[in-house]
Amino acid sequence: MVTPPGPVPDRGDAVWIDFNPQTGREQAGRWPAIVLSPAAYNGKVGLALLCPVTSQVKGYPFEVAIPNGLGVAGVILADQVKSLDWRKRNAAVITALPRQTVSTVLHKVNLLLGPSRAV
């Protein structure tokens, strides 16, 4: 069994994670991200669903602001959900975000993935 680099990330955790390799307009390098999937899934499967964080606030409808004073700053890009191997990409937990912030991100993700409307 592979030993994880640190604690299993849980839903609502802000983590540092390596986004390389990347293609096209995807973020590259080591950046913060927010974990959407629960620790039970992340620990068992070794993957985590995440949304990246950026400091470049553009006022885009799928940005979710991170409250001040949490050790990570910027906005969560709720429309850029990624499934990543958190162990291989060296995820390191920074802090847990407030429940309301996580709920807002999940709501925006649901707007994209929820039931479609008939045209």
- Phi, psi (degrees; rounded to nearest 5) at 6: -165, -165
- Phi, psi (degrees; rounded to nearest 5) at 41: -70, -50
Pairwise CA distance, residues 109 & 41, whole Å: 18
Domain spans, the chain:
13-113
Pairwise CA distance, residues 60 & 40, whole Å: 32
Pairwise CA distance, residues 8 & 111, whole Å: 27
pLDDT greater at residue 41 or residue 115: 41
Give the burial class of 15: count Cβ atoms within 10 A of its Cβ; 0-12 exposed, 13-18 middle, 19 or more buried: buried
Q: Give pTM, 2 decimals.
A: 0.87
Q: What is the average pLDDT across 47-59?
A: 96
**Fold assignment, 13-113:** SH3 type barrels. (2.30.30)
pLDDT grade for 119, boundaries at 50, 70 and 90: very low
Measured over the CA atoms of residue 62, residue 21, residue 14 and residue 110, the dihedral's sign is positive
| pLDDT for position 114 | 81
